[in-house]
Structure 1
Amino acid sequence: MMLPRLIHWQAEGLRLRRQPVAWAALGVLFVVLFISATLAGLDARAWRASAAQDNAMREQKLQQAMAQFQKNPVPGPANATATYQLGRGELGSTRMPVEAGLGLGIQRLDALPARLKASLDSRHVDARDPGPLRNPLLEDTGLPGLPAMVALLAPLVALLLCAGLVQEEREQGRLGLLRVQSIHGIAPVVIAALGWRLICLWLVLAVSTLPALALDPGSSPQVWLQWIAALAAFCAVWVALGGLLGVLPVSGASSMLLALGLWLALTFAVPAALVLAAERAAPMPSRLQSIIAIREAQHGSEDNEQALAEAWYDEHPEIKPQLPAVWPASFVTRVLDQDLALEPLLGEFSESRIRQAAIVSGGSWLSPGLALVLFGERLAGTDVPSHARYLQQVEAFEQRWRGFLVPHVMSREGLRAEELKELPRFAAR
């Protein structure tokens, strides 16, 4: 029983070796994915190095701030203004935490707000990018991430290797001879042929995508194993689909057309349909209504500036009232009121986004490529739930940040140099 099966595997392996088109497709796939993985690994390494540099820069800025406050140790309006400027500076910067598989989802960090800052200003009303001006059209034309490249290219190669296997034998007049030579029917031959193609495709994907994790100093063997297992499952699905198309009672040309249509449907149509269904099931708040709400919050706080300051002092009797409130104390209470008014709207945005992501993730099994991309983002820690947790951590940190600094601004006395050691720090969990 085992000898005939072994002969099938040897024969199909020899047959595959003699197909230059198959090896050319695998070679091109290897080169493209290897380059993409190398770039992703280098980007992941640069992100982690930049995160370490941020920590060093924060310590340096903290020492500079302590030196500045030591030069003017007398409490007063000047110190209060310096405290306000410190509270809206870079000491409140945060960075989104990532996981060991960062190279598999690093491209998401270019689209997500992953470097937010706790501030005495409003992040929601004034959301301008502090960096250099950029052209969004040019920013959006970059290459997709590594999992997306695998999801786009690997199925084409799998279908090229598998589609038309039986049709080719029939059209070349060899199908009858093949049936005669196989005492167990044609099924073991097809299984052996698909098995070799699965092994070759999986090895190409596993080796070519390895630099994305190998170049990342924060990677781990567990992530490597999970990614390799995901690639094996992904390859198995597409090889099985290609093999199914290869045994249909149609011509070889029809089989290839069906393979192309299947690739288009599962790679593009199904994900688009899932996104559309998610948007209808959990629509985002109206952009126009959001703008109106922001304008109303701004105008309302500006028109009630002194009343907001009085209300703040009433809620904090331990702080001696400084009325009428002047800048920056008057501005701080306006910001607090704006953020409080916009909190329900921001909650709606966050809830809709999480619900949409859950719907798309729940239906991702319909599209192998989408499932692979989402799995890569989870390994990288750049998926929607991870980013939502980061936003919650930033909100909590900003509450501590403001809770520590606002009383010193409202008292018009400011911080003392030794109090800077108690300045809240962002600790991502």
Structure 2
Amino acid sequence: MKRLLLAEWRRLLGNPVNRILLGVAALLLGAAAALSGLEAARYRAVAAGAVADWERGVAEAALALPATAPPPSPGQAKDAFEFARRMAPPAQRQPGGGLVLAAGSFAQRTPAIQVSVEPRHVDGRRSDPIANPLLRSLGMPDFGAVTALLLPLLVIALSYGMVHEARELGIWRVVCAQARQPWRVAAAALLVRLTAAWSVAALASTLAFALDPGATWQAWAAWLLALAAAALAWTALAGLVNHLRMPPAAAAGVLLAAWIAGMFVAPAALGALAAARHPAPMPHTVILRTRAAQDTAEQQEAALLARWFDAHPDQRSAITAHTWPVSFMPRFVAQDAAVAPLLRRVADARAAQADMVAAVAWLSPSLALTVAAERLADADAAHHAAFLRDVDRYEQRWRDWATPPIMGYRGLVRADVDSLPRFVPGPAGAGFPAAPILGTLAAAAALLACWWRLRHGAARP
């Protein structure tokens, strides 16, 4: 078998077309790896800079606060409100060790949210930049998506016509006559091509992880295993098609059809099934209910304010003619109470859809590779939904801290800054993406079993 492997290496590298294919793939994957690695490093630097900017800003704002509590006044309430609406510690989601695999997807899921005493779900969306979603979709795809796109094409280009070409050239009889077990020749050729394709993707991946200062070796090792599983599945499929009696052009057409189905058709179909199984509230429903919540809260502003002081008699002061911001605070709470559960339903539905797709991602090795990349980057919908729940709890703690100084007209003092609530992020990274990797390995094993049943067909001239 060792001699067969050496001979197949020479055969693979001796063909100039194969060398060009490997070179082009290495160039494309290397460029994508470099861009993604630099993007991941830039994101981590920006996130760290945002925390440093907040620390400087809150220190400056604390110096402007009085050292001792002055008499209650509308001015004190306004100053406390201005502090509470813009000086909350940032709520940042921690990326996983494989951020370089899906940095774009991670950034698009709003990983940094600025909480406030204002209704964040209605008109406090200051954390999202204004952008055209159509133009955003034309940007550079993530490294994980590029790899899922190019790796099967490389395997197909290297493997589709091995046996068919030998049959057309009339040398397959010679191969069968010289080999004790002719099927081993095809197995050695497939193994060599599997190794070549995986090595190119693995080297590019290593470059990407090396450029990300926050990458972890656990994520790198898991990604290399996911690459091996996907490459093995596509190689097994190529070997199975090679053992079917058809012209090389037909074999290429079958493999390209399988690539199109796995790369585009299967994800779209599974996404549609998941959306039907776990429907999310429609965007127009969210908009209409949000507007209704705003109108209802505005109409009931006086009643909401009276109920709040009835529930918190200790916050009453000598001031009875309540104006902004005190008169607005109960209205803000009522608006968020009406809108936030609806938006949580949207996030939970998307998470359930993503989990359903991930459970059957083995139907497409490319989809499974993309799912593994998102989970290693902590960019999947399930962990984003958990992050949003953590933000909601943190926002409630921030409001509980900031509301009494506003509603009681007593304002803030410097000592209050020491007790600022801080956001405690959940654990970074989703861990080992077992489901997509093991599912892809199972699919590869099934294809190899079919190839083993047809191995005697390869021995027939």
TM-score range, shorter chain: over 0.9
1:345-356 matched pairs, under 5 angstroms: 345-356=342-353
**Contact 1:164 1:245 survives alignment (8 Å):** no
**Contact 1:99 1:380 survives alignment (8 Å):** yes
1:210-225 matched pairs, under 5 angstroms: 210-225=206-221
**Contact 1:97 1:390 survives alignment (8 Å):** no
Provide the rounded CA distance (Å) in 2 between the counterparts of 1:427 and 1:72. 30
1:210-249 matched pairs, under 5 angstroms: 210-249=206-245
2:357 maps to which of 357, 360, 366: 360
**3-state SS of paired residue (1:69):** coil
One-letter amino acid matched to 2:268: A
TM-score (norm 1): 0.95
Give 1:392 deviation, angstroms: 1.0
Question: Which digits, 9 at most, give the CA deviation of each residue in 1:173-230, with x for residues without a partner?
Answer: 111111101122x210000001111111111111012122111111122222111111
Give the structure 2 partner of residue 376 of structure 1.
373
CA gap 1:399/1:48 in 2 versus in 1, 3 angstroms:
same
Provide the rounded CA distance (Å) in 1 between the counterparts of 2:127 and 2:224. 39
Provide the rounded CA distance (Å) in 2 between the counterparts of 1:313 and 1:176. 93
Between stretches 121-130 and 71-80, larger displacement belongs to: 71-80
Give 1:39 deviation, angstroms: 1.2
Question: Which digits, 9 at most, give the CA deviation of each residue in 1:337-374, with x for residues without a partner?
Answer: 01112233223212211211111111111111111111
1:199-218 matched pairs, under 5 angstroms: 199-218=195-214
Give 1:13 deviation, angstroms: 1.7
1:264-275 matched pairs, under 5 angstroms: 264-275=260-271
1:198 and 2:194 are equivalent in the alignment: yes
Give the structure 2 partner of residue 250 of structure 1.
246
Question: Which digits, 9 at most, give the CA deviation of each residue in 1:239-282, with x for residues without a partner?
Answer: 11111111211111100111110110111110110001011111
One-letter amino acid matched to 2:226: A
One-letter amino acid matched to 1:218: G
Provide the rounded CA distance (Å) in 2 between the counterparts of 1:338 and 1:413. 25
Give the structure 1 partner of residue 338 of structure 2.
341
**Contact 2:62 2:414 survives alignment (8 Å):** yes
Provide the rounded CA distance (Å) in 1 between the counterparts of 2:399 and 2:333. 9
Give the structure 1 partner of residue 30 of structure 2.
34
CA gap 1:427/1:130 in 2 versus in 1, 3 angstroms:
closer
Give 1:127 deviation, angstroms: 5.2
Give the structure 2 partner of residue 157 of structure 1.
154
**Contact 1:99 1:381 survives alignment (8 Å):** yes
2:413 maps to which of 411, 416, 423: 416
One-letter amino acid matched to 2:211: L
1:281 and 2:277 are equivalent in the alignment: yes
Give the structure 2 partner of residue 304 of structure 1.
300
Provide the rounded CA distance (Å) in 2 between the counterparts of 1:221 and 1:134. 35
2:173 maps to which of 176, 188, 200: 176
TM-score (norm 2): 0.89
1:56 and 2:39 are equivalent in the alignment: no
Give 1:324 deviation, angstroms: 4.0
Provide the rounded CA distance (Å) in 1 between the counterparts of 2:235 and 2:185. 15
Give the structure 1 partner of residue 438 of structure 2.
none
**Contact 2:298 2:331 survives alignment (8 Å):** yes
Provide the rounded CA distance (Å) in 1 between the counterparts of 2:149 and 2:132. 26
Give 1:286 deviation, angstroms: 2.6
1:399 maps to which of 396, 400, 407: 396
Provide the rounded CA distance (Å) in 2 between the counterparts of 1:355 and 1:135. 27
Provide the rounded CA distance (Å) in 2 between the counterparts of 1:71 and 1:407. 18
Provide the rounded CA distance (Å) in 1 between the counterparts of 2:87 and 2:113. 10
One-letter amino acid matched to 2:241: L
Give 1:288 deviation, angstroms: 2.4
Give 1:298 deviation, angstroms: 0.6
2:21 maps to which of 15, 21, 25: 25
Q: Extract unaligned runs of 5+ from structure 2.
A: 427-461
Provide the rounded CA distance (Å) in 1 between the counterparts of 2:190 and 2:178. 19
Provide the rounded CA distance (Å) in 1 between the counterparts of 2:369 and 2:225. 11
**Contact 1:73 1:417 survives alignment (8 Å):** no
Give the structure 2 partner of residue 330 of structure 1.
327
One-letter amino acid matched to 2:323: V
Give 1:168 deviation, angstroms: 0.5
Q: Tell me the C-alpha RMSD between the 2 structures.
A: 1.6
**Contact 2:51 2:90 survives alignment (8 Å):** no
Question: Which digits, 9 at most, give the CA deviation of each residue in 1:122-156, with x for residues without a partner?
Answer: 11111545566433332221121111101111111
After TM superposition, where is structure 1 displaced by more than 6 Å over at least 4 residues in a row?
A: none
Question: Which digits, 9 at most, give the CA deviation of each residue in 1:369-428, with x for residues without a partner?
Answer: 111111111111111121111111111110000000011111111111211111111121
One-letter amino acid matched to 1:39: L
Between stretches 292-301 and 92-101, larger displacement belongs to: 92-101
Provide the rounded CA distance (Å) in 1 between the counterparts of 2:126 and 2:360. 34
Give 1:90 deviation, angstroms: 4.2
**Contact 2:67 2:414 survives alignment (8 Å):** no
Q: Extract unaligned runs of 5+ from structure 1.
A: none
Provide the rounded CA distance (Å) in 2 between the counterparts of 1:351 and 1:46. 30
1:40-119 matched pairs, under 5 angstroms: 40-70=36-66, 74-75=70-71, 76-119=73-116
CA gap 1:127/1:179 in 2 versus in 1, 3 angstroms:
farther
